[in-house]
């Protein structure tokens, strides 16, 4: 099991962040232009007074080599099962990969902590768990590496876009 803690500054308020994060068009643009992945697909979306449920299927562009690359192959994707709690302002997620199914999970939560009047810290805590004998640790490290690589790409894209909107 691997734990990842990421904290990155974003140049907007928490309310603006959540509106953008949960917006289908902004989300698609982040995948395409910020991460340079293929277009994500929203597989389920529902809003209630207390929560927003959003599931997304995606195919990341991975940075893996050697044995991990041979195990993962070219077709790795994942489905994220996400729930935004309106009261706590926390987004909970579980991600299941298409190649390894229930044997490789990423789960955790993210929040937006205010920073000054017009900024925030995007904080994510994620756990990677792989139950495949002999290679579980290798795959967990590869996932951790890619998580730690992709979050700053999103943050950079968001901040550039937010600055462009203000100009």
- Return d(Cα 91, Cα 26) in angstroms, integer: 17
pLDDT in tens, 98-133: 888 899 999 999 999 999 999 999 999 999 999 988
**Per-residue model confidence (pLDDT) at position 41:** 96
Residues lower than pLDDT 50 in the chain = none
**Per-residue model confidence (pLDDT) at position 70:** 67
Judge residue 142's burial from the number of C-beta atoms within 10 Å of its C-beta, 0-12 exposed, 13-18 middle, 19 or more buried: buried
**Per-residue model confidence (pLDDT) at position 61:** 72
What structural domains does the chain harbor? 2-166 (3.30.530.20)
Q: In the structure encoding, which two tokens stand for residue 18, read together? A: 């959540």
């Amino acid at each position: 099991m691997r734990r990842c803690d990421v904290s990155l500054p974003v140049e907007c308020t928490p309310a603006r962040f959540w509106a953008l994060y949960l917006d289908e068009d902004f989300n698609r643009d982040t995948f395409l232009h910020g991460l340079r992945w293929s277009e994500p697909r929203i597989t389920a979306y529902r809003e209630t007074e207390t929560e927003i449920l959003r599931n997304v299927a995606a195919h990341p562009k991975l940075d893996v080599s050697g044995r991990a690359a041979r195990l993962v192959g070219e077709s790795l994707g994942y489905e994220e099962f996400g729930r935004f709690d309106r009261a706590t302002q926390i987004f909970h997620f579980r991600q299941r990969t298409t190649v390894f199914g229930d044997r490789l999970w990423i789960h955790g939560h993210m929040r937006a902590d205010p920073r000054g009047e017009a900024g925030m810290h995007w904080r994510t805590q994620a756990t990677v768990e792989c139950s495949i004998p002999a290679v579980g640790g290798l795959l967990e490290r590869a996932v951790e590496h890619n998580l730690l690589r992709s979050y700053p790409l999103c943050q950079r894209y968001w901040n550039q876009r937010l600055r462009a909107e203000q100009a």
